[in-house]
Structures are given as structure tokens and as C-alpha cells.
């Protein structure tokens, strides 16, 4: 009987662990604020060094569903964002274009906001750290 309980607990944890790891819902509250880009990857290869190291790349999410961003190589953008908290789908719609917006998969690991591109951007992943 003593052996049965640890095996049973191990089985339960083994079944729940993937759900806990992959169920990374993100809330609007978590992304609000200003974030600086600290790392960029293309197809899992770090390309941060190929960008201007002196440029301050950032994005700020505001409570009224607006965002502002600036920095090389993207320059200044502002517009609206739409976050699906259940799926992590984040759409950034620039006020400068009439496009449907850029779609990202957003997750937060407690240290970094990670934006994984979708569609044409799927090779790119941005790691951002909150500045305020």
C-alpha cells in the first residue's frame, strides 16, 4: 500500500505537468506597461546582435487597448491591440496602415513577455522585459 500512494501521486503529477506548463494564459493586466526588447530570434537563432545595439526598442501596452512602440528597425508605431487571454493571441493594429494587423502568440514566463510570430512572421520570436 505504501508503494501504491507514491506511484499514484507520480502518475497524477505526470499527467498534470504538461497541462500546467502549456496552459500559459496571459492576461491584459500582465502585459500592461512598457517593455524593452532584450532578445530577438529568427528560426531559433539569436539575431539580436544584428540589430542596432544602441537603439532602444520598446512597446507600451495601455489599458484602453492602445499601444505605442519605437526603436530600430521598426521606428515609431502606435495603434490598437487585441488580446485573447485564453489563447494568447495578440493582434497589433497600426494606426498608420489599413491592414488587419500583425498577429502574435503572447506568453509570459514571469520574467519575459514572449511574442512568437504567426503567419509570415512565424520564424521570429521577441523576448521583452518590463521596464515599468
User: For 17-46, how does the pLDDT look when each residue is reduced to its tens digit (9 = 90+)?
Assistant: 443 444 457 999 999 999 999 999 999 999
Q: Is the dihedral of CA 61, 82, 92, 43 positive or negative?
A: positive
C-alpha radius of gyration, the chain, whole number: 18
Contact between 104 and 40 (Cβ < 8 Å)? no
Q: Write down all domains in the chain, each with its CATH number in brackets.
A: 26-130 (2.40.128.270)
Contact between 87 and 23 (Cβ < 8 Å)? no
Q: Measure the CA–CA gap between 48 and 46, rounded to whole angstroms.
A: 6
85: confidence class by pLDDT, cuts 50, 70, 90:
very high
27 versus 97: the higher-pLDDT residue is: 27
The verdict on whether omega for the bond into residue 73 sits within 30 degrees of 0, i.e. cis, is: yes
Pick from 11-20, 95-104, 109-118: least confident: 11-20
Rounded to a whole number of angstroms, the distance between the first and last alpha carbons of the chain is 53
Average pLDDT estimate for 63-78: 84
Amino acid at each position: 500500500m505504501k508503494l501504491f500512494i507514491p506511484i499514484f501521486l507520480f502518475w497524477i503529477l505526470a499527467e498534470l505537468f504538461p497541462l500546467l506548463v502549456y496552459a500559459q494564459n496571459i492576461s491584459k493586466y500582465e502585459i500592461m506597461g512598457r517593455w524593452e526588447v532584450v532578445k530577438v530570434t529568427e528560426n531559433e537563432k539569436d539575431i539580436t546582435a544584428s540589430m542596432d545595439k544602441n537603439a532602444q526598442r520598446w512597446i507600451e501596452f495601455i489599458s484602453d487597448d492602445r499601444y505605442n512602440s519605437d526603436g530600430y528597425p521598426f521606428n515609431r508605431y502606435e495603434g490598437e491591440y487585441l488580446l485573447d487571454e485564453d489563447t494568447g493571441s495578440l493582434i497589433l493594429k497600426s494606426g498608420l496602415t489599413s491592414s488587419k494587423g500583425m498577429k502574435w502568440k503572447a506568453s509570459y514566463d514571469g520574467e519575459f513577455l514572449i511574442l512568437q510570430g504567426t503567419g509570415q512572421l512565424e520564424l521570429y520570436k521577441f523576448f521583452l522585459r518590463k521596464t515599468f
